[in-house]
Amino acid sequence: MSNLILVRHGQSEWNLEKRFTGWVDVDLTGQGKLEACKSGEDIKKLNIEVDYFFSSFQLRAINTLKLIQDTLRDKKDPIRAWQLNERHYGALTGLNKDEMKRKLGEDKIHEFRRSWSIRPDPLSRNNPYHPLNIETYKKIPKEKIPDTESLKDTYERVIEYYTSDIQIKLLENKNIVISAHGNSIRALCKSIFKLDNQKISLLEIPTGNPLLINFDLKQEVTECRYLNRDRARDLLVF
């Protein structure tokens, strides 16, 4: 038996401002910090030993995980992986979602956000929001850094890393917490729950609410549930 706990970072500053964030580093709001601490409290109630902690390279996920570990009083070194980053929103990065709905239409923005294979226009490499211009990503090979991504692109990089570095630990009956993002967690759910492309477009991931997934010895899912039922969303699974 092993447990995988997926946590979308607490509310970020750009979540609050309704801006497309992608790979840009923004921190948590006060509400986001409270959500992260509550996530830690909910995980603590499970009375399980967490063997590994993972996060993306992004500040909002890193700080969410830090607050969770502080609540658990667990000082293990977390493993950070850029492959767990949020989807890159290309030229939409930094723009207000409501303004773009008015400009392009709600259907078009929904298509950009939830379609499986459609990418927004690429972000100029001269733009300060481009990952090439952010110090965090200086050690990542340039050919790995995207200018834009579809959910399919995000899925491929997330699942490649999950298969090689995380799933192998679950097979050893280890308990794992991942602090990541709406689309990287959506990608993990698509793989784990075998969701089709239509269902994955409907899956909503709430901020700061741990999703507990139990696996048996054959890595079959035996249970999945949000730890905070009041803020849970439909998993489209069971």
What gap in Å lies between CA 144 and CA 238, rounded to an integer? 36
Parallel, antiparallel, or unpaired for β 221-226 and 211-215? Answer: antiparallel
Buried b (16+ CB within 10 A) or exposed e, 187-196: bbbbebbebe
Q: Residue 82 has what DSSP assignment?
A: G
What gap in Å lies between CA 216 and CA 14, rounded to an integer? 38
In the block, residue with structure tokens 């667990």: 74
For residue 147, what are the contacts with CB-CB under 8 A and spacing of at least 6?
88, 90, 122, 123, 125, 130
Q: Which residues pair with 107 in a beta bridge?
A: none
Helix, strand, coil percentages in the chain from 3-state DSSP, rounded to 5: 45, 15, 40
- Active-site annotation holder among 13, 35, 41, 86: 86
Parallel, antiparallel, or unpaired for β 52-55 and 176-180? Answer: parallel
For residue 73, what are the contacts with CB-CB under 8 A and spacing of at least 6?
none
Task: Report whether 113 contacts 90 (CB < 8 A).
Answer: no
- Active-site annotation holder among 9, 88, 130, 181: 9
- Catalytic (active site) residue 86: yes
- Catalytic (active site) residue 9: yes
Q: Which residues are tagged catalytic? A: 9, 86
